[in-house]
A and B are shown apart, each in its own frame.
Chain A
C-alpha cells in the first residue's frame, strides 16, 4: 500500500498583528514549525504502515524552498519519501488553487491508495484543502477521523467525530482522510532515522513537471478569492478598565453584577 501525507509549514507564533497606521503586518519573529495537526496525520500513516504489509509513506508539502524542513522532520519521524512542490507561479494561491496544485502533484506521484491530511492548519484554519484535493482527484474523503478501526485490502474502516455524533464508515481505496488532533501520540523525529536518511535527497517538483502546465490554474491567477484588505479587529470604545487591589477589583465585579441584576 502507498500512503501520501500532505503536511504544511506554519508560523510558530499566532502573534500576528496589523499596524493600524501603516497597514503593515507585524509578525512576532519568523519562526516556523510543522502544522500541529499534521503530526497526527503522519503518526496515523506510520500506524497504518505497521498494520499492513509493504507500505510506503510519501510526505508532500507545498511552499517556498525553506519548507523543506518540515519534510526532513517527516523523514526523521518515519516517512519513506518526501517531495516539495514549489514554484513562484504558485504565489498567492487560495484554497482552490492550493488544493488543485496538490492534486496535480498527487497525480504526478500517481501511486497511492490512501491520502492523509491533518484536519486543518493553524494559520488558515479553514479545514477545506483536504476535501478539495479529494474532489479534484475524484476520490471520496472522510473528515475528522478520530480512530482507525481496521485496514482491509480494499477499504479502510474509520470513526469520525461530527458535532453531536460520531460516524463509523467504510471507505474504498483510493481515498483521503483528514485526522483529528489527539487520535494518537505522534512520535518524535529520531536520531536513528536521521542517520538512515542522511543521503536521501528530497525531490522538488515545479509547475513544469505537472500534467497541467497552464499558469492560469495556479497561484493568484487560479484563485477565485481575493483578499482586499486586512484590518485589526474592532475595539470597543466604551470599554471600562478597572485597576486596583484584588479587594477593590472583586468589589467592582460584585457591583457590576449587582447593577446589571445578575446578583
Chain B
C-alpha cells in the first residue's frame, strides 16, 4: 500500500528523461522542471528498482492487518444449469484439494438451484468435506442479482478463506458482482493457483495485455476470489463419499430482481474443441477463406478438429466456440498442430498443456516456438502443399 514519492532535489532534465523512459505506463509528467506521477502509475516499482538510485521511493502506508486465522475453508462455487453441474466445478474441486493440503483447511462446495440434490451427491464423490445447498423455486434459473444475495449470505455466515468460480460466461458475470458486494479482490482467468509463503492464494494470469505473466495476491482482504477457465485443471479421482450435505435456509435472503428472463435459446451443438484429442489450429496467416482448403487433406487424415485464433472468428469463418485462448476455449488435446499462429499469450495459455505441440511459422521469433515440442520454421503456404503430396503417397 502506498504511493511513489519523487525526491525533487535529485531531478534534473536528464534524470527525468531516464525515468520517463523506464516507466512502461507513461506515468511521469515533466513540466516546468517538476516531475510528477500521474494516475497512469500502476505502482509496479520499476522506477524504484531500475531508475536512477534515490530518485523515487515507495512510501508505504501502514494499514491495519486483518486476522487471517478467522477465515477457514476453500470453497468451489458449483455452477449448474438445468440441474447439471458444469464440469469446470469438478476441476476446481481437484485444485482446491491440492491447495488445502498446503493450508490444512477443509474444502467446501456451494450450489444454488432448485432440485440440486444429485449435484450435491456428485460433489461429495469428488471429495468435498461439505457442500452447502441453497434451494428455492426462484433459484431455478441463474439470476445475477438473486444469486449474489445468496453467496453474500453464505460468506457472512461461514467466513471462508477462498472462493473459486469457473471462468464461464456466467461465472465471469457473477464473480465480479460477488467481489464488489464483499469488497474484495478478484483475479480473472487464473492459469495457475498456489499458496504463498504467507499462506495467501497466489493467482497467476497473463497481464497488461502482453506476453507477460503476473503473480497476484490478496494480502489483506477476505475472501480471496478467482475465476479459472474450463480445462485449465484436471478433475480429481472419484472417492467413496465421506462428506456432508448441508441444506441452508434461504427464507430471509432477498429475492427481488429487476432482470426478467424471457427466453433462452440453445445454440446448435458444435463439436466441442475442449474435448478434442487432435486439433489443427489456424492463425491469421490464413488470409483468404480458400486457403483453408490446404489443410483439408491433413485434417481428414488425422481426423482432427479445426480450431483457430481470434482474427478468424472475426472474419466470420468459424463459430466463436472454435476459438482457442483465454477469451475462447482452453484445450489439452493429445496433439495440436498450429499453423501460421503468431502466439499471443492469450492463445498460448489456452493450449500449452497439450501433450504434443507442433507449430509451423515463417517467423522464427514467434512466441509459440518457445512452448512447442517441434517448431517448424517455414512458410505454411509452401510446406502444406508438399505435406499434402506426401500424405497422398503414404497409405
Contacts and interface: CB of A to CB of B under 8 A. Distances in A.
Interface stretch (B122-130, B245-253, B282-290, B369-377): B369-377
A233 B344 CA distance: 11
A132 B210 contact: no
Interface string A115-153: 000001111111111111011100011111000000000
Interface of A: 10-11, 14-18, 22-27, 30, 62-66, 86-92, 94-96, 99-100, 120-132, 134-136, 140-144, 157, 161-172, 175, 181-182, 219-221, 223-236, 238-244, 246-247, 249-254, 256-257, 260, 262-263
B383 A250 contact: yes
Interface string B11-41: 0000000000010101101000000111111
A169 B3 CA distance: 44
Contacts of A126: 176, 188-189
Contact of A165 (B38, B177, B266, B376): B266
Main secondary structure of the interface of A (DSSP, over half): mixed
Interface in B101-132: none
Given A125-B189, A239-B371, A239-B372, A15 B210 contact: yes
B37 A88 contact: yes
B341 to A, nearest CB: 14
A164 B266 contact: yes
Interface stretch (B90-98, B156-164, B256-264): B256-264
B38 A86 contact: yes
A75 B175 CA distance: 33
Interface residues of B, number: 112
Given A91-B37, A141-B177, A142-B259, A242 B209 contact: no
B14 to A, nearest CB: 19
Contacts of A228: 196, 214-217
A253 B358 contact: yes
B155 to A, nearest CB: 14
A251 B38 CA distance: 56
A92 B42 CA distance: 4
Given A25-B44, A64-B40, A236-B371, A229 B326 contact: no
Contacts of A26: 24
Given A26-B24, A238-B373, 9 more contacts: A16-B209, A87-B39, A91-B38, A125-B209, A127-B173, A167-B261, A168-B265, A171-B260, A236-B371
30 contacts: A11-B210, A14-B209, A14-B210, A16-B210, A27-B24, A95-B188, A123-B208, A128-B188, A131-B176, A131-B180, A132-B177, A135-B176, A136-B180, A141-B173, A162-B168, A162-B169, A165-B266, A170-B262, A172-B258, A220-B2, A220-B43, A223-B185, A224-B221, A226-B219, A228-B215, A231-B212, A239-B373, A239-B375, A240-B375, A254-B391
Contacts of A18: 211-212
A65 B26 CA distance: 11
